[in-house]
Structures are given as C-alpha cells and as structure tokens.
Structure 1
Amino acid sequence: MSCTPVTVTAPDGAALTACTHGGHVLGWVPVGGAQRLWLSPTAECGPGRAIRGGVPVIFPQFAGRGPLPKHGFARDRAWQRVDGCPAGTWAATLRDDEQTRALWPYAFELRLTATVAAQELTIDLEVRNDGAQPFEFTAALHGYLVVRDPHAELAGLGGLHAQDNARPEPADDGDPVWLGAPGESVPALQPRDVSLLGATDPVDLVDGTLGRLTLTAEAFTDRVVWNPGPGHGLADVPAGAEAGFVCVEAARLTPVTLPAGATWTGRQTLRAEPSVAL
C-alpha cells in the first residue's frame, strides 16, 4: 500500500519515516533528538489526496501559478519505492502515465532520495526529461517544521522582498511584503503565505525548546514561508494545531527549462542543533 509508513534508520540511530504516496517524507528524528517534522493527526492519504505534514513534493507547478491543480500532481499520486538503498536512505520514483499526460503532456521521471545521518536530513529531488521536447517546471519541498516554543523565530530572511502568495500574480501585483529589516529575526508563528525569490542563504528556525534547525539548499533558489494562522478552516489541521508548525520550503519558483534527455537536481538539507535541555 502506498500509504503504509516505512521507517529507515541510519547506523548511528538517526531515523526517517516515509511512504510512497506522494514520494513523501513523513518524519525525521536526528540522533538523540526529537521529531522535527510535523504531521497532522487527521492527515488523509489516498489517490488524489495530499498528506498534510512532513515534506510534500511540489511539481511541476507551485501553488496556483499556472493551469494545473494547485501544487501540481506529484504529491497526491502513488510513487514506486527504490529497493537496495543503503541504511538511512529511502528513495522513490514517479514516472509519467496517461493521467499525468492528460494534465501535463510531457514524459518525465522524478526521483526523491532522503538520507539521515547524525543531525541531518538531506532530500534530493531529481527531475529527468524523458521526452523529445523541452519542458518547464517549478518545484518545492514543502517542509512542515515542528515548533514547540510559542516565541520561536526565523532568522535569515530579514530585508528580502517577499511576494504575497494569496495574490493571483504575486510577482507583479501589489506592494512588496517585508519580513523584517536586514539581519532581523521574525516570529515563526505568524499567519503568512509568502515567497522570497533569491533567498539562497541559510534559514534558521530558532526554537527555545527544541533548539536551532537550519535549512540550506542547492539549485532551489527561493524560499517559501507559510502558516495558516488560527481560524484557518483547514479540515486536516485541527483547531490550534497550526501553533505546532511552520512551513519553510526550499523552492524553485522561476521556471526551469529542461531540455530533452536532461536532468535537474535540487537538494534541501535540514540540520538540527538540539537545545541543551534535550
């Protein structure tokens, strides 16, 4: 069953949990630490349904920026697990089929590889063009990061121009949004849905209870920050549960043009520095 969770453990004890529905990393526990990925207790899984929490894969369209269903189709389809991975590594692939080609008429293969060791979780997303013509795509790894400290802050985004994702044309419509002054930290738990283009520096989630969590990325040139806030009305996020996470995403929001036969790979790394109290 594509919704059945599987846990893999590295030789040092770091562990991740994943399932093939959506090629989805559901959980991550670094060595000696606590769970760092939030998963909704009311998350749904199955054909056409996206799992709420963990690290959903956004492909080939971010949000509603195009004609496809919101966030594309990769996150709500069954992938195929890759056998023979080393300890601490889980991988899965998704290939085009009749249903995907009805939405997006291209031949492709996605491969997601997640690896844990010590205090790090690394996720690689590989996109291969298996067709005879180039195609364009956008992509993101939509990580839900656990927050335990109500005063947790995000560092590394201050002074950057942020786009309001609620607008139909966020790059060109309306005034820019700012997440604080340069070098300034901002509250993690604040209702927002913004994209930050060209945000390539590390982003830190500083939680007084859990410790620091640092996100870095390669080839994902942008970042997205999201929290629905109270009164959100999301059926698969229980009332009050939004105070337990913030989404900080490695994203590629400027379309990649991938030639026939070519491959693009983006990488996101999360590194935990536990609180002394842990």
Structure 2
Amino acid sequence: MPIMAIDPSTTHTLTSPDGAELVVTAHGGHVLGWTPAGGPARLWLSPTAESGPGLAVRGGVPVIFPQFAGRGPLPKHGIARNRAWVVVESGAGFWEARLEDDENTRAIWPHAFELVLRAQASGAVLDLTLTARNTDTQPWNFTAALHTYFTVGDSDTVITGLGGQAAADNAGGPPVALDDAVLALGTRDVAIEGASGPVTLEDPQLGPLVVTANGFPDRVVWNPGPGHGLGDVPPGAERGFVCIEPALLQPTELGPGSVWTGTVRLDAGALSTDA
C-alpha cells in the first residue's frame, strides 16, 4: 500500500461516495470529525484545539496507548496521541495510519511496537479498528482506548445501556451504580469494567447514536463539567460534548509477534447491536 509523506498536522477531509465525511490528521493518528451521510456532524472538536509535536488534540477520537490516563508510570494516556503517525492509505471515506517505535518512544516506554488505526465512514456508520503488534523480542503489557468525543446538541441528552452497572470514580471517589439513563452533560469521570454491550447516546436534537465494540471490554464516560480549568476547552464548551470511550483498562500481555485488535462501530442510523 502507498505511504503518504505529508505534514502530520495537515487536516484532510475524505468523503465517501454516499456523502459520509471523515476528517483526519496524521498527528496522533487522529480522526477529528465524522459526518454521517445526510446527517449532522457527530464528533466534537474544541475550537481551540492544538496540533503539533508533543501536543494532544482536544476532541475527535484520540488514540490511547499503551497506558490509560494516569494508571501507570507513563505520561497521561501514553505515547500515541501526541506524535506524528505515517499515513498508509487514504481514499473515499477511508483512512489508515501507522505509528512505530523510535528512539523517542523507547526513551519513554522501552518496547518495540506497531500501532495501526483504520477508519471507514459509510452511510450512517463509522468503523474504527485499532491494531497493536508486538515487534519486540520480549512480551509487554498495555492498555488502550479510543477516547471518543461526541457532540451533544440538547441538554436533555442521556446515555443508555449502562444502567445498574458499577462505575469506578476515576478521581478516586467511591464507586457508584449508574442509572438507566445517565445525563450526558453531568460532571462525570467514571470507568465501567465489563460493560461490553451497546451504549446509546440519545440526543433529542441530533438523534440516537449507538456505540458498539469488540476487543474493548470496558467503557469510560467523561464530562469535565463547569469550572474544569482545561486550557483547550473554552468556558461553557463542556456543554457541547460527552466522551464515551471504548477501553481496555486492565493491563494485557502481548507476546513477541502477537497482535491485538479492537474495533468500534458508531451507528447514527437504525439502532443496531452489530460491531
């Protein structure tokens, strides 16, 4: 497959034959935007998002690898989201990018690896596939997530599909049991392990959106709430998004030459349980 030599911070819009739109950048291997055919845009991107060496883009679908958040000794969310990837293939609604270890990554995490993200937008669906390959001579452990920022168009938007499940507070508070309908815009940072079923964002303005996944057995729900202090989220902008993150939160060992694959399907059309 052809490899594209491009400025990693350049933004590209890729449109499928049916009109579905994908917006991507090689910096971070990052899907910045997705618009289903005939529908509204469904991914949120901060109006003050920054892109470049060492910077993490706020919004879209950041790739988290090999560490989730601060759950370990590495920089928050690992080493994939803030460095240049190589574009392997790009076409009508399709994009594939790759990140491999180098001296800079090995100075932080001393392992050889290959990470590939594939994105395909068609009709009302966005399919994402993240593949990790151990190219080292020794096994290593990792965690991963696709830290997806969804646009919220209505203050009454709720998240369903997690009702009754135990949610760990990522800020260190006591676990809570989630309601059948979780308010999308409530201040929240929780991890729900073993939540492998479909989760639906029920937005009265934009319509329902179903999140399904394979290989990501856990979910994280995050909204920073008002007074968050995030420099790349303008005051009040937190009311325009919620993160529903398919995740692999428990460290998983990958042996030399072995491959792990996680897939996510975002479906803004008919409610579906297919991943």
TM-score by length of 2: 0.94
Which one of the candidate residues 103, 108, 117 is aligned to 2:122? 117
Q: CA deviation at 1:86?
A: 4.7
Alignment counterpart, residue 207 of structure 2, candidates 207, 211, 223:
211
Deviation at 1:186, TM superposition (A): 1.5
In the alignment, what sits opposite 1:39? 45
**Deviant stretches of 4+, over 2 Å:** none
| Runs (5+) with no aligned partner, structure 1 | 168-173
What is the distance in 1 between the residues matched to 2:177 and 2:83? 35
* Percent of aligned pairs sharing the same letter: 59
Instruction: Select 2:103's aligned residue among 90, 98, 108.
Output: 98
Corresponding residue for residue 177 of structure 2: 178
CA distance in 2, matches of 1:73, 1:175: 29
Deviation at 1:273, TM superposition (A): 3.1
In 1: Cα distance, 2:82 partner to 2:168 partner: 26
- Deviations along 1:2-56, one digit per CA (max 9) or x if unpaired, are 1111111111111100000000000000010011000000001111110000000
User: 3-state SS of the aligned residue for 2:137?
Assistant: coil
Q: Deviations over 1:69-113 (max 9, x none)?
A: 000010000000013x45221010000000110111110000000
The match for 1:24 is 30
1:65 aligns with 2:71: yes
Structure 2 residue identity aligned to 1:11: P
Q: How does 1:247-258 map to 2 (within 5 A)?
A: 247-258=243-254
Residue 239 of structure 2 aligns to a residue whose secondary structure is: helix
Counterpart Cα distance in 2 of 1:17 and 1:86: 12
Kindly report the root-mean-square deviation, in angstroms, between the aligned alpha carbons of the 2 structures: 1.0
Deviations 1:137-160 (A, max 9, x none): 000000000001101000001111
Aligned length: 264
Residue identity matched to 1:137: F
Aligned match of 2:59 in 35, 53, 65?
53
Partner residue, 1:80? 86
Cα distance per residue 1:199-248 (max 9 Å; x no partner): 01100000000000100000000000000001111110000000000000
Distance 2:176 2:55 in 1: 31
CA distance in 1, matches of 2:174, 2:189: 15
Displacement of 1:175 = 3.0
CA–CA separation in structure 1 for the residues paired with 2:232 and 2:55? 11
Match of 1:5 among 7, 11, 14: 11
2:81 counterpart SS class:
helix
The residue number in structure 2 matching 1:170 is: none
Is the CA contact (8 Å cut-off) linking 2:14 and 2:91 kept in structure 1? Answer: no
Once structures 1 and 2 are overlaid, which stretch shifts more, 7-16 or 132-141? 7-16
TM-score, normalising length from structure 1? 0.93
Question: For structure 2, which runs of at least 5 residues remain unmatched after alignment?
Answer: 1-6, 271-275
The SS at the match of 2:34 is strand
Give the distance between the partners of 1:166 and 1:70, measured in 2 at CA: 14
User: Partners of 2:221 and 2:114 in 1: how far apart?
Assistant: 27
Asked if 1 retains the 8 angstrom alpha-carbon contact of 2:145 and 2:247, the reply is: yes
Give 1:33's aligned amino acid.
G
- Give the Cα separation in 1 of the matches to 2:34 and 2:223: 20
